[in-house]
Structure 1
Amino acid sequence: MIRNPVLPGFNPDPSFLRVGEDYYLATSTFEWYPGVQIFHSRDLANWELVARPLNRAALLDMRGNPDSCGIWAPCLSHDGERFWLVYTDVKRLDGAFKDAHNYITACETIDGVWSDPWYVNSSGFDPSLFHDDDGRKWFVNMRWNHRWAGSGVNGANDRFDGIVLQEWSPEGGLTGPVTMIYPGSDKGLTEAPHLFKRDGWYYLTTAEGGTGYEHAVTMARSRTIDGQYETHPQKHVLCAEGSNGAVQRTGHGQYVETHWGDHYHSFLMGRPIEGPDGQGRFCPLGRETGLEKVVWRDGWLWLERGGMIASAEVDAPGGAVSAPRAPVHRRLGGPLPPEFQWLRTPEWERIFRCEDDALVLIGRESVGSWFEQSLVARRQEDHAYVAETDLDFAPDTYQQGAGLITYYNRHKFHAAILSHDEGAGRTLSVMSCAGDWPAGDLDWPVHSVPVGPGPVSLRVEVDKGTQRFRWKQQGEWQALGGELNAAVISDEGGQGEHASFTGAFVGMVCFDVSGRAAEARFTRFDYTPGAA
């Protein structure tokens, strides 16, 4: 069986591709660097991270990008000779304008050095590249409308101004007319277009309804690539709206016919759980990636099991089974472990370095910076887990701090921070920011724990909606502060699931707002699924 999600934790907007007997999923990374995660599988049930292609300044520099901006909705394709990757770097989230810049890069191998990008346009986000069987390439995009109400082509949401098509080539860029091919259904917020061709029809799938609990995959078709597309008789192939199952927020994916002759569709999904003290449901793991089996009937795709509700378990080709999840123990030193990323900057050597026996974080700007923040973290992939690290750090001012952090964005995090107090010397305390601005502000407890010289071990225990920090130097683990609300570190924390679009991370952080670049050495990082 395929167990959904196939990519647990923050892995949204899955572009799905088959090349021969190899399968790939490319997912959004937003402000996390390097940009775009590409996974590979041979059985659809088990996936391995094989590339993060946007890994140098020529391809991506997100310094200054707000939270939940950066890389939205990549599209991975292959034209028989090369892999192609379309991506959007979004520079603004709030307000009428988006400032969404679209690029294309290419590579002969999935894990090779990708070309310097072609800039395409900035007219909208979530574009794709379609390679027609006559050799022509087509750039398909949603068009963003910053104007007043009533000015768009779809009354359900004026900002999403239809799906547009234009021919593109590496030599000539965009050429020919811009054609609006699909206004969207009455669900609105029509985005993330993907084209494919089958039996003389051009099929278009889009994401609709926003990225929350009303999300959907909508399908349409036309006999010509630029013709007006008729909508699926059911409108949506996938939509969990109004259901109460474990798999929610389903939408935004892509269709693939397998070499076994089966048919699957990828989708993003959320697994909500109940927050503490009746705070409502929340998705700490963000938007994850799932797969559903689909069938063709009367010229349209339908879920094999009927309806529009995705399942937690799906039949896999050849009887493959998703492998169970296991603890990950990292002795830090040498290359950065593959599960870790950092924020925004291509100049990673300014915020960390990998020595033979440690990961050294170089204190730069504050935890809330959008420019140069020394924070290296991995995705939370389980509703309950324990993470531990060993830290050696010698701060000499309260302006320096380093430690273990559970992080969503600059206004949603908890951290166990080793710093300095004028009267007590080295101290440990909990630093929190519990909700989107202006609802959330920094909370630094008055009481802190004095710590003796030498390395310190830090531990966080997350159990669904609650978490606790612990520490030790010798002997048993000791509590650091009390129980914390983990529900704020989620899409829904603060202003709700439409205000932020990433997922929870856990990792290591260091800051030095004195400007002296104090260094913190981390020698171990363990992540263990399951409650303590």
Structure 2
Amino acid sequence: MPLVRNPILPGFNPDPSILRVGSDYYIATSTFEWYPGVQIHHSTDLANWKVITRPLTRASQLDMRGDPDSCGVWAPCLTHDGTKFWLVYTDVKRKDGSYKDTHNYIVTADSITGPWSDPIYTNSSGFDPSLFHDDDGKKYFVNMLWDHRKRPHSFAGIACQEFDPATNKLVGPRKNIFAGTDLALVEGPHLYKRNGWYYLLTAEGGTGYDHAVTFCRSRSVWGPYETHPAKHILTSKDHPLAALQRAGHGDIVDTSDGRTYLVHLTGRPTTQLRRCVLGRETAIQEAFWAEDDWLYVKNGPVPSLYVDLPAARDDTPYWAPQSYTFSGENNELPLDFQWLRTPDTARIFRTSPSDGVLTLIGRESIGSWFEQALVARRQQHFSYDAETVIDYAPEDERQFAGLTAYYCRFNFFYLTVSAHNDGQRELLIQASEASWPLGGLNQQRLLEPVQIPQEGKVRLKVTVRGKALQFWYALEGEELKKIGPVFDASIVSDECGGHQAHGSFTGAFVGVAASDLNGTAKEARFEGFKYTPVEDASDRYEA
């Protein structure tokens, strides 16, 4: 079989839940505060994947206005019961401090592309829910259990309760079936059944460099569960030089010819500070069932960079430049793009079928948790170019729009067209470069503005080469020229997302934004967007 290089889902694609239906494979990944909710990827060979849908598309299913950074949709679980698809997800409303407000829901669909149902509310006792369909027809809902009284952490174990599809309710007693191991922080549960055993796969050790996949089993769904002889079947925690770090939060799939694979979360750190600019990605490992009825990762527990898969991967689309126009009907964006939190897209952007222009409606600041006009795509390469052309006539310093490399409200670089308080149009770079400890929380560094003519379109560009980020601009009829210093691109990463370890969960985006802090909804027009991968040494690893 061909050797395929991990990750199979590069860029911000964490918490994979994998499913096979016939000859089709699907992986659902977390989207956190980015809308629409949940990415579902499709493959027929485990090597080549494509995003085909984001099922949580309307306010009745998901409204994240006010959700803090790295909250929103956590750890979806995608299953099929032989009749229809089931998708379980958490909408996290608060995560910092002692308390977690974590609301768990189920939606269903006959087809993977929908339409998906309105949500069924289940519980709020913890996060990372999943649904297990037993062979006797019963369904069980499992999630990690949060106990705000526990110290030094509040991860209280894995809760299991029967779900009744006739009434769409949890029924019967709830039982804590697994307290976790000494690695602690047990979460991400998935149940399976094989040869009369119930298997429980969990994630432990947090989402940082101690992350791991833990495996256990029982003869009853209710336990007690014994832990795998190796305890953790996948982890990089004791191997700091492995190419794939932060390995954990996994799920299992069987192929039609009897092979077994484990998909899992991973990160690829860069710089001596070990920053994961591309966020948490999805990798795959070959696994096997031994004579003792335990699952083992081939060549594990350290994840392999290269894995035998049924087919080779076609890397051509991965390296191809992507030129986008915004000509979708009914405000439909190209599938690579998302926005933040709100289901009410008509208030923040509109597309134009006639000329492909994206109009952003200036709303709150780029750091808002409620309503901001920001449309972006994932950074999926360590080096890239991105550019657009903006047509915008701001009236004062409270109106600004432009091109941004964005992680969250604490970490972004933003080249804007704005104006001085006397109305003179100018280019201004806004840089928010928080790292822990935060100190001056979200304090922006404003570089000396560059005056530009009052009229005319402006070409904006950002180039990222590993750690180095540089902005460029050009007036109509002129060549591009640099603006501002070379910034540290690794700031736009999990490790600098404004929290200590295990607190920032998304990944870098690049896109366009518009703010009107006067409240007059000043519009900015963007004529297309181009994203060009640039191959460099950071994108290649040796086996």
Q: TM-score, normalised by structure 1?
A: 0.95
Per-residue deviation, residues 403-429 of structure 1 (Å, max 9, x unmatched): 000000001000000001145711001
Equivalence for 1:226: 222
Q: Distance in 1 between matches of 2:164 and 2:527?
A: 48
Equivalence for 2:425: 426
Q: Distance in 2 between matches of 1:422 and 1:144?
A: 50
Equivalence for 1:82: 84
Task: Report the CA distance shift for 1:263/1:322 in structure 2 as closer, same or farther (over 3 A).
Answer: farther
Identity %: 53
Per-residue deviation, residues 271-301 of structure 1 (Å, max 9, x unmatched): 00115xxxx1100000001110001112111
Task: Note if 1:159 corresponds to 2:154.
Answer: yes
Task: Note if 1:445 corresponds to 2:446.
Answer: yes
Which of residues 94, 97, 121 in structure 2 aligns to 1:95?
Answer: 97
Equivalence for 1:182: 178
Equivalence for 1:256: 253
Task: Note if 1:500 corresponds to 2:468.
Answer: no
Per-residue deviation, residues 225-281 of structure 1 (Å, max 9, x unmatched): 112000000001110012112110000010011112211001000000115xxxx11
Count of matched residue pairs:
519
Which of residues 198, 205, 219 in structure 2 aligns to 1:209?
Answer: 205
Counterpart of 2:157, as a letter, is: G
Deviation, 1:485, is 1.4
Per-residue deviation, residues 192-241 of structure 1 (Å, max 9, x unmatched): 10001111111110000000000000000011111200000000111001
Q: Distance in 2 between matches of 1:444 and 1:188?
A: 39
Per-residue deviation, residues 296-323 of structure 1 (Å, max 9, x unmatched): 1121111122x31111211111x33243
Counterpart of 1:174, as a letter, is: L
Q: Distance in 1 between matches of 2:157 and 2:208?
A: 20
**Is the contact between residue 16 and residue 76 of structure 1 (CA under 8 Å) also seen in structure 2?**
yes
Which of residues 262, 266, 273 in structure 1 aligns to 2:263?
Answer: 266
Correspondences of 1:322-333 after superposition (within 5 Å)? 322-324=314-316, 325=318, 326-333=320-327
Task: Report the CA distance shift for 1:513/1:108 in structure 2 as closer, same or farther (over 3 A).
Answer: same
Which of residues 26, 29, 34 in structure 2 aligns to 1:27?
Answer: 29
Deviation, 1:446, is 5.2
Range 398-407 or range 420-429, more displaced: 420-429
Equivalence for 1:459: 461
Task: Report the CA distance shift for 1:162/1:444 in structure 2 as closer, same or farther (over 3 A).
Answer: closer
Correspondences of 1:385-424 after superposition (within 5 Å)? 385-423=384-422
Task: Note if 1:301 corresponds to 2:281.
Answer: no
Equivalence for 1:62: 64
Deviation, 1:112, is 1.1
Secondary structure of residue in 1 paired with 2:122 = strand
Range 242-251 or range 494-503, more displaced: 494-503
Deviation, 1:497, is 4.0
Secondary structure of residue in 1 paired with 2:511 = strand
Task: Note if 1:168 corresponds to 2:163.
Answer: yes
Per-residue deviation, residues 308-364 of structure 1 (Å, max 9, x unmatched): 1111211111x3324331211113333411100000000011000011220100000
Secondary structure of residue in 1 paired with 2:346 = helix
Range 320-329 or range 239-248, more displaced: 320-329
**Is the contact between residue 77 and residue 131 of structure 2 (CA under 8 Å) also seen in structure 1?**
yes
Equivalence for 2:541: none
Secondary structure of residue in 2 paired with 1:487 = helix
Deviation, 1:440, is 4.3
Q: Distance in 1 between matches of 2:358 and 2:4?
A: 36
Correspondences of 1:467-482 after superposition (within 5 Å)? 467-473=469-475, 474-482=477-485
Could you list the runs of 4 or more consecutive aligned residues of structure 1 that deviate by over 6 angstroms after TM superposition? none
**Is the contact between residue 128 and residue 139 of structure 1 (CA under 8 Å) also seen in structure 2?**
yes
Which of residues 279, 288, 313 in structure 1 aligns to 2:281?
Answer: 288
Counterpart of 2:404, as a letter, is: I
Counterpart of 2:252, as a letter, is: Y
Deviation, 1:441, is 3.0
Range 320-329 or range 57-66, more displaced: 320-329
**Is the contact between residue 434 and residue 440 of structure 1 (CA under 8 Å) also seen in structure 2?**
no
Deviation, 1:464, is 1.6
Equivalence for 2:312: 320
Q: Distance in 2 between matches of 1:274 and 1:388?
A: 25
Task: Report the CA distance shift for 1:451/1:97 in structure 2 as closer, same or farther (over 3 A).
Answer: same
**Is the contact between residue 429 and residue 480 of structure 1 (CA under 8 Å) also seen in structure 2?**
no
Per-residue deviation, residues 356-404 of structure 1 (Å, max 9, x unmatched): 2201000001111111000000000011111111111111111100000
Q: Distance in 2 between matches of 1:116 and 1:443?
A: 40
Per-residue deviation, residues 473-513 of structure 1 (Å, max 9, x unmatched): 23321111011111211001154442211100000000001
Counterpart of 1:169, as a letter, is: D
Equivalence for 2:110: 108
Equivalence for 1:152: none
Task: Report the CA distance shift for 1:59/1:424 in structure 2 as closer, same or farther (over 3 A).
Answer: closer
Which of residues 198, 201, 208 in structure 1 aligns to 2:194?
Answer: 198
Q: Distance in 1 between matches of 2:511 and 2:18?
A: 29
Q: Distance in 1 between matches of 2:396 and 2:207?
A: 43
Q: Alignment RMSD, CA only? A: 1.4
Q: Distance in 2 between matches of 1:322 and 1:201?
A: 38
Counterpart of 2:394, as a letter, is: P
Task: Report the CA distance shift for 1:390/1:397 in structure 2 as closer, same or farther (over 3 A).
Answer: same
Q: Distance in 2 between matches of 1:238 and 1:476?
A: 51
**Is the contact between residue 21 and residue 259 of structure 1 (CA under 8 Å) also seen in structure 2?**
yes
Range 46-55 or range 446-455, more displaced: 446-455
Structure 2 residue runs of 5 or longer lacking an equivalent are 537-543
Counterpart of 1:508, as a letter, is: V
Which of residues 516, 527, 533 in structure 2 aligns to 1:529?
Answer: 533
Deviation, 1:141, is 1.1
Equivalence for 2:373: 374
**Is the contact between residue 32 and residue 341 of structure 1 (CA under 8 Å) also seen in structure 2?**
yes
Counterpart of 1:183, as a letter, is: A
Q: Distance in 2 between matches of 1:252 and 1:391?
A: 41
**Is the contact between residue 429 and residue 447 of structure 2 (CA under 8 Å) also seen in structure 1?**
no
Equivalence for 1:154: none
Q: Distance in 1 between matches of 2:170 and 2:444?
A: 50
Counterpart of 2:403, as a letter, is: L
**Is the contact between residue 398 and residue 419 of structure 1 (CA under 8 Å) also seen in structure 2?**
yes
Counterpart of 1:351, as a letter, is: I
Q: Distance in 1 between matches of 2:369 and 2:446?
A: 24
**Is the contact between residue 247 and residue 311 of structure 1 (CA under 8 Å) also seen in structure 2?**
yes
Secondary structure of residue in 2 paired with 1:492 = helix
Q: Distance in 2 between matches of 1:496 and 1:177?
A: 36
Q: Distance in 2 between matches of 1:344 and 1:448?
A: 31
Deviation, 1:442, is 3.2
